[in-house]
Structure 1
């Protein structure tokens, strides 16, 4: 975004009683945007690794292992698409918005994020877990007991860590939305 343009536009307007000043809103928006870029990068890297593995080893014949990979890849891909859509929606229009219209836009944006966080994300996580569970019998049969245990433990720990990050970011977004309502 062109922050200088936004700052000049907003500073030329009356505050209209909002608690957040333009610099504060821009700072929070930048931080949220950076967090989304990190999320997209991590999910994209995971998808790339899964796709490379799937095409190199898995897709020789169709079975539950392949179904598990497809479920994991598709749930992450859906989440990446939603993050990109959320991240770049109406970006070009934001530059010419007034402070009041930008404030209204942010309210709508975070309401839409709530739908993603509280409805779509749990579905994506559930599909990912089902896919992971479909892989486990194959890992158990074809890998050593130690490596299977490592995959099982690291998979569960990673999932808990990711869910904790998602919950933390959802809480932050909810707080920001509540601040904007004041």
Structure 2
């Protein structure tokens, strides 16, 4: 090839307009996911702090039953915070500047792991948490007035229903995103 041929080829290529994919929607979705995870971490963190403060307030460390109940409650929250931190770190590693197929593959992998979390780990944590609550309810029943005990029971049931609703809503949202990604 001579210089004129190279120059001609270069001019033809430079005349072509290549379209660069718009990464803004992907970046916005990732930012939204990261924001939701931060909110979840904040709520879990506050719950953990309240439980730890309550642990020391009632001197749960002095009695085996309350120690076990509160340890289960706090342990579940700590594990859940750790899971969300790990999940957030994995989400941050997703590179929006990859090709569309590579980006999609990374997102599918991320949501597949979240699906396992939603159907295996979270239910187990909820069961353990409820066991801890059950243990604590036994002691609340013994040492608190009936009115206050019933207030705690009703508050817990209402809180659990609301929590379950938001967990379910989040899981269904993640499942729909995964389904959409897999169908495309």
Q: Does the TM-score normalized on the shorter chain lie above 0.5?
A: yes
Aligned-partner Cα distance in 2 for 1:99–1:53: 49
Report the aligned-residue RMSD.
1.8
Instruction: State whether structure 2 residue 20 is matched by structure 1 residue 12.
Output: yes
Instruction: Identify the residue that residue 34 of structure 2 maps to in structure 1.
Output: 33
Gaps of 5+ in 1: 1-10, 14-20
Look up the match of 1:166: 167
Deviation of the 1:156 alpha carbon: 1.0
State the distance in 1 between where 2:151 and 2:29 align.
Answer: 38
Q: How many residues align?
A: 165
Is it true that 1:86 corresponds to 2:94 in the alignment? Answer: no
1:177 alignment partner in structure 2: 178
For structure 2, the 5+ residue unaligned runs are 1-18
Q: Which stretch has the larger CA shift, 43-52 or 82-91?
A: 82-91
In the aligned structure 2, how far is the partner of 1:133 from the partner of 1:101? 47
The verdict on how the C-alpha distance between 1:60 and 1:88 changes in structure 2, with shifts beyond 3 A counting, is closer
Aligned residue number for residue 124 of structure 1: 125
TM-score of the superposition, structure 1-length normalised?
0.83
Structure 1 segments (4+ residues) deviating >6 Å: none
Q: Does 2:57 match 1:49?
A: no
Q: Deviations over 1:88-111 (max 9, x none)?
A: 126256265333222111000000
Q: Secondary structure at the match of 1:27?
A: helix
8 Å CA contact 1:59, 1:66 repeated in 2? yes
Larger relative CO (CA 8 A, sep 6+): 1 or 2? 1
3-state SS of 1:89 partner: helix
Larger Rg: 2
The answer to whether structure 1 residue 142 and structure 2 residue 123 are counterparts is no
